[in-house]
């Protein structure tokens, strides 16, 4: 969603600070306490990062049970954020569709959990 403003430039060193990894959703359930409709996710990022929790406003395109086993990309080095009763430990990445609803980003083929975006 661009408003025509120029894109802010960052150095490559700044980009390298953002740790984006792939993980497999191992559990997903509705999050009725969230202000906006959301799901609670548990994602396995492999042995180096481990299993992390997240809250994601993705209910327009995804049912909880359909997400289990799906690989997704997430930023794993943001500080945790408390969202109601859930401590969200990673930021799951997606793109907004034409209606502003989030579509998850993941690899086109299976890759090892914990693989870093490069």
Q: What is the DSSP string of 65-89?
A: HHHTT-EEEEE-SSPPEEETTEEE-
Q: What is the dihedral of CA 52, 40, 87, 101, to 10 degrees?
A: 100
- Using DSSP's 3-state secondary structure scheme, residue 32 falls into coil
61-74 per-position pLDDT tens digit:
999 999 999 999 99
Report domain extents, the chain: 17-104
Contact 45, 113 (CB under 8 A): yes
- C-beta of residue 90 within 8 angstroms of C-beta of residue 74: yes
How large is the C-alpha radius of gyration of the chain?
Answer: 15
So what's the pLDDT on residue 40?
A: 97
Interval 78-87 mean pLDDT:
93
* CATH number of the 17-104 domain: 2.40.50.140
Write the pLDDT tens digit of every residue in 28-61: 999 988 888 999 999 999 999 999 999 999 999 9
């Amino acid at each position: 969603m661009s408003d025509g403003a120029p894109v802010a430039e960052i150095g490559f060193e700044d980009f390298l600070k953002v740790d984006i990894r792939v993980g497999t959703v191992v559990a997903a359930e509705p999050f009725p306490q969230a202000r906006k409709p959301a799901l609670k996710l548990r994602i396995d990022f492999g042995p180096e990062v481990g299993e992390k929790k997240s809250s994601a406003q993705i209910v327009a395109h995804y049912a909880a049970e359909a997400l289990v086993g799906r690989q997704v990309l997430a930023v794993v080095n943001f500080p945790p954020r408390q969202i109601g009763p859930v401590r969200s430990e990673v930021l799951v990445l997606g793109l907004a569709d034409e209606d502003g609803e989030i579509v998850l980003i993941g690899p086109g083929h299976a890759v090892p959990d914990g693989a870093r975006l490069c």
